[in-house]
Amino acid sequence: MKAFEQLIQVMQQLRDPASGCPWDLAQDHKTIAKYAIEEAYEVVDAIEHGSDEDLKEELGDLLLQVVFHAQMAAEKNRFDIEDVVHAINTKMIERHPHVFDQHNPLTPEEVAQQWETIKNKGQSKRLLGGVPASYPALMKAYTFGQKAAKVGFDWSSLDRVKSKMDEEWGELLQAMASQNDQHIEEELGDFLFVTAQYARKLGYDPELVLQKANAKFAKRLHAVEAKSQDLGRAMQECSVEELEGLWNQVKSTHPIKK
With beta carbons less than 8 A apart as the criterion, state whether 28 and 75 touch. Answer: no
Task: Return contacts of 1-10, CB within 8 angstroms, 24+ apart.
Answer: 7/63, 7/64, 7/67, 8/67, 8/71, 8/81
> For 7-51, what is each residue's pLDDT tens digit?
999 999 999 999 999 999 999 999 999 899 889 989 988 998 889
C-alpha 11/C-alpha 5 separation (Å) is 10
C-alpha 159/C-alpha 150 separation (Å) is 19
What is the predicted pLDDT for the residue at 255? 58
C-alpha 154/C-alpha 156 separation (Å) is 6
What is the predicted pLDDT for the residue at 129? 77
The DSSP element (H or E) to which 205 belongs, if any, is none
pTM of the model: 0.65
> For 85-105, what is each residue's pLDDT tens digit?
999 999 999 999 999 988 788
| Predicted confidence (pLDDT) at residue 180 exceeds the cutoff of 90 | yes
| Predicted confidence (pLDDT) at residue 256 exceeds the cutoff of 60 | no
Q: Per-residue confidence at 258, pLDDT binned at 50, 70, 90?
A: very low
What is the predicted pLDDT for the residue at 114? 87
